[in-house]
Amino acid sequence: MGGYYIGIGRKARRVYGFDEMALVPGNKTIDPQDVDIGWHIGKLPFKIPIFAAAMDGVVDVNFAIEMGRLGGIAVLNLGGIQTRYENPHKVIEEIVHSSPKEAVEIMQKIYREPIKKELIKKRITQIKEANAPAVVSCIPQQAKEFAPIVQEAGADIFVVQATVATAKYLSSKREALDFKKLCEDTSIPVIAGNCVTYKSAYELMETGIDAILVGVGPGAACTTREVLGVGVPQVTATIDVAAARDDYLKHSGRYVSIITDGGMRTGGDICKALASGTDAVMIGSAFARAKEAPGKGYHWGMATSDENLPRGARVYVGTTGTLKEILYGPARLDDGSQNLTWAIKTSMSYCGVSSIKKMHEIEMVIAPTIKSEGKFFQEIQRAAKEK
């Protein structure tokens, strides 16, 4: 597995993120219209491999409905504003209009309001009544309590998500979530995460979960790596978890889909995640730019409001188009943030593959895009002159 000496008697792996990698075109090319980007969780098929992340600036009931209508999946956060407030819009307004300086404190206050079980039920019902898939998430600490409510309300998928989730959680003070029992007791698919290593992914798969979220520390609205030092870049994390998935499939006969979550801003990043072996991706900031996003161009992570240790800033990403334009175009921006499905199809067509499974096997190269500073300065000057 390689590894480099980082000091006397100590080696470390070199790991890789999206910005250092590039995809190599294939020896044949394929008509993008012949490329299939469908995938599945267990027997549940999906038309496009894209989730909108369970973030309060991205997904509310309306967004989830529109996303479902377009063939994608939006995850509603059960631990966020939607289930704490009857009227979430007013609360989000307050976040959006706070100054950068006071934003963290205001959010800490807002998220102190307790979660209401009747609102969990109500939000799921609202989504289902519009015939959209209801996919909801909570943290492991609340999973046991929320699981029956969620099922009863008719949700389609239950996501249990923590910064780092493992099959073993040790605490002298509180009971740990038993993922195995949760899966046995839950009739709808369970997605769990996040994880980044082979072993912890394999052990989570053994508990019976249906899909696994990959990603610790890479997201745009998250400073986990800065604050805690913890994180593994997404290309290596995805490859390692994909290796666990393939080995687990060999041993168990069960295919647990993996979903790379966080750190992707462009179609190019999504394509690299697929080439790293993921079945689908979960995205926050790209969808925070949708007209339908409740955050009105603002974006913040689930840990931004942490009472003790806020991680992740409120980021302004702007509103750049409709959700439909972001997913299906036509793109009006050239930065890779719009028409994501066509970007995936085009990229796969250049790589000469017609399905996501085959995309898992294409060649990647290590190709950092750092420019010499001579050019760096020229570019800054040039940008300044642009009229």
DSSP string, 311-366: -S--EE----B-HHHHHH-----SSS-S-HHHHHHHHHHHHT--BHHHHTTS-EEE
Q: Which of 261, 265, 283, 295 binds a second copy (CB under 8 A)?
A: 265
Rounded CA-CA distance 60/257 in Å is 25
**Least separation in angstroms between CB 376 and a second copy:** 7
Q: Per CB under 8 A, does 355 bind a second copy? A: no
Interface residues for a second copy in 126-165 (CB under 8 A)? 163-165
Minimum separation from the CB atom of position 4 to a second copy (A) = 6
What tokens does 336 get? 């890779």
User: Which positions from 31 through 70 interact with a second copy, judged by CB under 8 A?
Assistant: 31, 33-34
Q: Which residue number, 87 or 381, has a Cβ lying nearer to a second copy? A: 381
What is the closest distance, in whole angstroms, from the C-beta atom of residue 153 to a second copy in the complex? Answer: 29
Token pair, residue 128, equals 């289902």
Exactly one of 154, 313, 319, 358 binds a second copy (CB under 8 A); which one? 313
| Structure tokens belonging to residue 55 | 């973030």
What is the DSSP-derived secondary structure letter of residue 57?
T
CB of 66: closest distance to a second copy in angstroms? 21
Contact call for residues 223 and 203 (beta carbons, < 8 A):
no
Shortest distance (Å) from residue 126 CB to a second copy: 31
Give CA 58 to chain center in angstroms.
12
d(C-alpha 295, C-alpha 30), whole Å? 38
- Residue number with CB closer to a second copy (157 or 323): 323
**How far is Cα 359 from Cα 18, in angstroms, rounded to an integer?**
16
CA-based nearest residue to 209, from 150, 143, 261, 270: 143
Q: Which stretch binds a second copy (CB under 8 A): 3-11, 36-44, 119-127, 206-214?
A: 3-11
Instruction: Work out which of 77, 83, 161, 200 binds a second copy, going by CB under 8 A.
Output: 200
Write out the binding residues for a second copy, residues 81-110 only, by CB under 8 A: 100, 104-105, 108
Alpha carbon 165 to chain centroid distance? Answer: 15
Distance of CA 384 to the CA centre of its chain: 35
Among candidate residues 118, 58, 102, 103, the one with its CA nearest the CA of residue 295: 58
Please pick, from the candidates 69, 199, 254, 357, the single residue that binds a second copy as defined by CB under 8 A: 199
- 87 upstream amide cis, omega within 30 of 0: no
With a CB cutoff of 8 Å and minimum separation 6, the contacts of 286 are: 264, 265, 266, 326, 337, 340
Residues 235-254, interacting with a second copy (CB under 8 A):
235-240, 242-243
Stretch that binds a second copy, among 53-61, 75-83, 129-137, 262-270 (CB under 8 A): 262-270
* Per-residue tokens: 62: 């309306």
- Single out the residue of 49, 262, 312, 321 in contact with a second copy (rule: CB under 8 A): 312
Q: Which stretch binds a second copy (CB under 8 A): 6-14, 81-89, 114-122, 253-261?
A: 6-14
For the bound state, the minimum distance from the C-beta of residue 155 to a second copy, rounded and expressed in Å, comes to 26
184 lines the binding site for a second copy (CB under 8 A)? no
Residue 154 DSSP label: T
| Of positions 87, 131, 187, 369, contacts a second copy by CB under 8 A | 369
If one asks whether residue 175 binds a second copy (CB under 8 A), the answer comes out as no
Phi, psi of 343 (to 5 degrees): -60, -45
Binding status of residue 8 toward a second copy by CB under 8 A: yes
In this complex, which beta carbon is closest to a second copy, that of residue 135 or of residue 216?
216
Question: CA nearest 18: which of 313, 233, 237?
Answer: 233
The verdict on 206 binding a second copy (CB under 8 A) reads: no
Under rule CB under 8 A, residue 375 binds a second copy: yes
Q: With respect to a second copy, which residue has the nearer C-beta, 136 or 271?
A: 271
- Residue count at the site for a second copy (CB under 8 A)? 134
132, 125 contact by CB (below 8 A): no
Nearest distance from residue 154's CB to a second copy, in Å?
32
Q: Which of 5, 45, 250, 253 lies at the binding interface for a second copy (CB under 8 A)? A: 5
User: Binding a second copy by CB under 8 A: which of 159, 310, 323, 327?
Assistant: 310
